[in-house]
Amino acid sequence: MKRNWMTMKMSMVAAFAALAGHAAMGAVPLLALGANAAEVSVSGLSAGGFMAVQLHVAYSATFKRGAGVVAGGPYYCAEGSIVNATGRCMSHSSSIPVSSLVSTTNSWASSGTIDPVSNLANSKVYLYSGTSDNTVVQAVMNDLKTYYQSFVPTANTFYKNTIGSGHAMITDDYGSSCSTTASPYIDNCGFDLAGDILQYLYGTLNARNNGTLSGTFTEFNQTDFVSGHGMATTGWIYVPQSCNSTSCRVHVVLHGCKQNYSDIGDKYVRNTGYNRWADTNNIVLIYPQTSTAATNSCFDWWGYDNANYAKKSGPQMAAIKAMVDRVTSGSTGGSGGGSTLAAPSGVGTSGATSSSMVIGWNAVSGAASYNVYRGGSKVNASAVSATSYTDTGLAASTTYSWTVTAVDASNVEGAMSAAATGTTLASGGGTTPVCYTASNYAHTTAGRATQTGGYTYANGSNQNMGLWNTFVTTTLKQTGTNYFVIGTC
């Protein structure tokens, strides 16, 4: 019996590996469509709602049109703590320090860690909370409304909180009964929430297409933008047929926990109501996907992957921003745009000090120069002719994310590279980093990490290393006295 079970288990592992490989092999690069960069917005449910807020606030220069938030909460609500996330930010078991979160937002904007908050004043915010949602209760969404009042005019905010829905994305014709909180977390409440969100963010729209859609769904390669960090190897994009000849709007749609493609297939991508509005209103929809390696398949809104999760340098944040950059680059028609230059490959970081990092990449054929972006913002004042660049003026003990584009002789940029991350040394650093690979339990007993609420956190950086046990293995790099980051030497 034991041998039969082991044989069956090995067969199952092989089958799942083959499926995963097939999914990655079937994906294509995300095209540069020449979409309208001034017409970008985002919405999400639950963890996707929290991530939508993060993207809207941190990348306010990109998500100019605004955000739709379903069962989310204030920016940086968890403050890097799983206890805060599951307590005050979901059940509202204790009060959320909204004024403190507003202060943090202003401070980070002043330091350039996130975009200027002044951008938010021109955007719109749509908020939704169901009266039967006992997962993220309405008091949390009330606090989100209060938070946004510090940045977005009251006239640009709409809050719908009167429908008896459970913790779910709601539609007018698909899903479970309205008060249900269960997989796939899509409820039929006789209300078109996706349409309401899009119409509020973009104004009057054409009637939705209730018939066969004109456009195409494409599974694209997310590893062009991020590898690991709780993100799947592939995501999905819907491109209306009209966007082959028109510069279209862009809306990013973020699923909730236990709603990625591995969890519920294409239900969220195809049945939440967004596509039929996009089809008749020139809106490209990007559906980023987490992987099953992400905690509960959630987007990172409390720091399970990275201490900078809510900033522009957060790996998931930078990846989604890079997806938008790709779609809005080039010229209308989806051929890749005015420049045919490929995205630089082999982008990596090295030579970290407490205030600088060297970014290097492979040469691109036909490139006259290169541009380097940190957290989505260009950092080189003049053209970079070499295949490396030293970025200076960085904060100590901080993780950043960089991407690179090639530029042709006509000064037209090509496709954006995949993001590379790196962590600066601690103040007074400069010593050669030392790495330790061990179980999370062993790291805590050795004094390199601590554990709180069943999770393990690296000393100094406070990065979430995952569950505290003897099974999860992590490599920690020591970059200063009692300062450790997740990484390799």
**Catalytic pick from 41, 43, 46, 397?**
46
Give me the residues paired with residue 476 across strands. 436, 486
Q: Which two tokens stand for residue 230?
A: 């709780």
| Rounded Cα–Cα distance for residues 305 and 314 (Å) | 9
Q: Is 56 a catalytic residue?
A: no
From the candidates 167, 229, 251, 255, give the one annotated as an active-site residue. Answer: 167
In 3D space, the residue among 275, 266, 194, 258 whose CA is nearest the CA of residue 234 turns out to be 266
Do residues 31 and 337 lie in contact, with contact meaning Cβ atoms separated by under 8 Å? Answer: no
Query: Which one of the listed residues 115, 133, 263, 300 is annotated catalytic?
Result: 133
Tell me whether strands 157-160 and 66-70 are parallel, antiparallel or unpaired. Answer: unpaired
Q: Is the peptide bond before 344 cis (omega within 30 degrees of 0)?
A: no
Pairing state between β 124-128 and 455-458: unpaired
User: Exposed, middle or buried by CB within 10 Å (0-12, 13-18, 19+), for 333?
Assistant: middle
Residue 126 CA to residue 316 CA, distance in Å, equals 23
Q: Report residue 386 CA to chain centroid gap.
A: 30
- 286-34-54 Cα angle (round to 5): 40
The CA distance from 221 to 232, in Å, is 9
Q: CA 81, CA 143: separation in Å to the nearest integer?
A: 18
Alpha-carbon Rg for the chain in angstroms: 22
Write the CA distances from 216 to 47, 269, 323, integer angstroms.
27, 12, 17
Q: In the annotation, is 115 catalytic?
A: no
Active site residue 229: no
Catalytic (active-site) positions: 46, 133, 167
